[in-house]
Structure 1
Amino acid sequence: MTSDAQLVAVRSNWWWSHVAVVLWTIVLDLFLLIGGSLNLTQTASLLALQAWLFVFLTFTIAALFGFYYDAREIQDAGQEWKPTWWMYIVGSFIVTPLLTSALYLFQRYRHVGIRYRRWQVGPSERVTDG
């Protein structure tokens, strides 16, 4: 892309699904690490773990859709970076959604940036609101 070309801002909020997967996995891991020291009964621990895993599954399914829809928004905005969304989905089944979501967020930050309302973090290019 030429230096005088203006880029259209990527208006997608699907990256939030990847943030949810990463944060929820960290919270789940902390729960598993300190769960024994909370003196909960085994039944209460299993019920809590099932609830947390259900939410994790919901976030993971949203992240799988998020790979596709966020990549479409990035492509429609005319950005140079073209994420290979299907590789992130396959990788989620091979490795873990935590790793693929964290990698996707990092790559999105590097190439397009992360935008939330008027707040933008990432590459400082001339961007129009289109």
Structure 2
Amino acid sequence: MIDMFIMILSTVGAVFVLIASIGIVRMPDFYTRLSITIKAATLGIGCILTGAAIHFAEFSTTTKVLAIVFFLFITSPVAAFLIARSAYITGIKLWKRSVVDELQDKYDNRNNIPRSCPKDESEE
């Protein structure tokens, strides 16, 4: 029974990683590629590692795997956010058929800073 559960987790994880790799090819712009890759790959790797933790069933291995999964789920969205924000600031364009650009009026394109930031006294 446990072997079936491990096989299901591994297969689901591999399918999510496959979806992430297909998303890199099929998505139209950088931002959607980043989004699909981070979400699907994080979930896929989490499933595969959970299957490995169940398979080895030792305390030290399970603890390490759970720590890896925890940090992966914590750091991947933050990293994706920072990568997407820096890509936007540096001028990587949205897809031509994008409907909404929520950051359009929130950045000073000349200085590459958010408009809500107070100006330094040296700039005045």
- Scaled to the shorter chain, the TM-score interval is 0.3 to 0.5
The structure where strand makes up a greater share of residues is 1
Larger radius of gyration between Structure 1 and Structure 2:
2
TM-score by length of structure 2 reads: 0.40
